[in-house]
A and B are shown apart, each in its own frame.
Chain A
């Protein structure tokens, strides 16, 4: 890199400095600050939304969500890579190229498998499960549509959601069994199980099962949704969130980004573009001279300039000034 001769001063002195003291000093400042603020404010933790909690407080909505997993209307059922062959959330060719890395069949994985396990404990489930499995896809869809309509007016009574009318096939039994499983707290185990290993690190299906309305209904009042600048908001109001994401969050609000079906891909790419400009600042003509024109450096180096001026004022000896000594190549 060429160095303009006039873009920096060369006459300055070296002054004594206790570097180790400086480093320990900043560490002590930070530790003291952090201990103080931690003692005063502790840490923000918003209780998570659990399947059990949702099944208990919102039984009808729970069944609606479970039905959407079964009938393929849910967000994950038709998501696309890396979960399945859907197209609902397919935003870019890169996403498609990745393929199915974490396969999810929402109907099977979220509903039918857990119910099949529950049927071992509750044999009354065996028959409705078999009826559903052996029905044609068209028949299943007919039941699902009818039950979905009926659920909108469903009422919760004694552990079940009751709907008016008939013609829903085995769905009332299956959905109420899912509700019971959810209310018991066993559903989470059914969703995070892994037949191959005993560790339970992967809570993917647990989280994705709740992803639609349940989480959105909880996030909206906390201003956590994307269109509410949610990325930078905390889940416990009053605490700082990820405020360093302000620029990407702002990009998400740009109308042409917000309205795009590939909003995430666009916002993140544009955000990366902004970062590139930051990173390449030293080589962007014009932009790399902005600080010089802004003149804020005059404040930052105020003492240096004052000393320099007063020395020039008292005339004489440039001789006692030395150039940079520390490794300036």
Chain B
């Protein structure tokens, strides 16, 4: 086989390049609020991680009996709400612009996986809050988890859920979001659909629309 280092160098070159990550120009159509939604989602994720680190440092349940920690817990809670809120708006914007066209299918799939993984990430967080909501969701949701043959994930084991929520799920999500954004940077954002005269041209069957 070829030289692995050489191959890695070629593959990683564009991924690690400053040109990729610090562009000084953007396509003219990629302007305005609609194009901020992905960054707003990513920023909310950063806020989740930041507030989560403060919570983890102070120990489980500190947020239930310490006023300062309660405020941090509030920022964590609302960061999560912001994260999903912006993610949904972002999802609509990329859907309505058909942003998987032009070889961007994998970008879309990684976004969808990020959404899928974000759900249990948030859920395990609800489970370790320690209030009625945690308690109720742990006993209710266990039936679904057990039915799917995932019984080793014990929702009523707060220690396991703490590890899942604080280490395992955020790490996985970080990797997926990282890959998603890397692809966006490498491929740039999708150009608009043609309108007017161009759009009237017949689109090749089986190829168009992508």
Contact = CB atoms under 8 A, between A and B. Distances in A.
Interface stretch (A123-131, A154-162, A302-310): A302-310
Nearest to B51: A34
Interface stretch (B1-9, B78-86, B166-174): B78-86
Interface string A38-61: 110111111111000000000000
A26 B23 CA distance: 17
Nearest to B185: A327
A291 B23 contact: no
Nearest to A23: B39
Contacts of A91: 143, 146-147
A208 B63 CA distance: 24
A243 interface: yes
A6 to B, nearest CB: 5
A49 B132 contact: yes
B119 interface: yes
A248 to B, nearest CB: 9
Contacts of B105: 1, 282-283
A265 interface: yes
Interface in A216-259: 218-219, 224, 226, 230, 234-236, 240, 242-245
Nearest to B190: A8
Contacts of A22: 36, 39
Interface in B87-112: 87-88, 93, 95-98, 100-105, 108-109, 112
Interface in B59-81: 63-64, 70-71, 73-79, 81
Interface string A293-308: 0101110110111010
Contacts of B195: 298, 305
Interface residues of A, number: 111
A3 B39 contact: no
A294 B146 contact: no
Contact of B148 (A18, A29, A38, A265): A265
A279 B82 contact: no
Given A204-B154, A289-B208, A268 B47 contact: no
Given A44-B133, A243-B84, A297 B152 contact: no
A202 interface: yes
A41 B132 contact: no
Interface string B128-155: 0111111110111001101111111010
A117 interface: no
A7 B209 contact: yes
A35 B78 CA distance: 9
A119 interface: no
Contacts of A314: none
Interface of A: 1-10, 12-20, 22-23, 26-27, 29-31, 33-35, 37-39, 41-49, 81-82, 89, 91-92, 94-95, 97-98, 101-102, 199, 201-204, 206-208, 210-211, 215, 218-219, 224, 226, 230, 234-236, 240, 242-245, 262, 264-265, 267-269, 275, 278-283, 285, 288-289, 291-292, 294, 296-298, 300-301, 303-305, 307, 309, 324-329
Given A15-B31, A297-B192, A326-B26, 7 more contacts: A13-B28, A31-B47, A95-B147, A279-B116, A282-B104, A288-B100, A327-B14
16 contacts: A3-B101, A4-B208, A16-B25, A34-B78, A44-B77, A82-B152, A199-B159, A204-B157, A219-B136, A244-B118, A262-B147, A268-B148, A285-B206, A288-B100, A289-B98, A324-B188
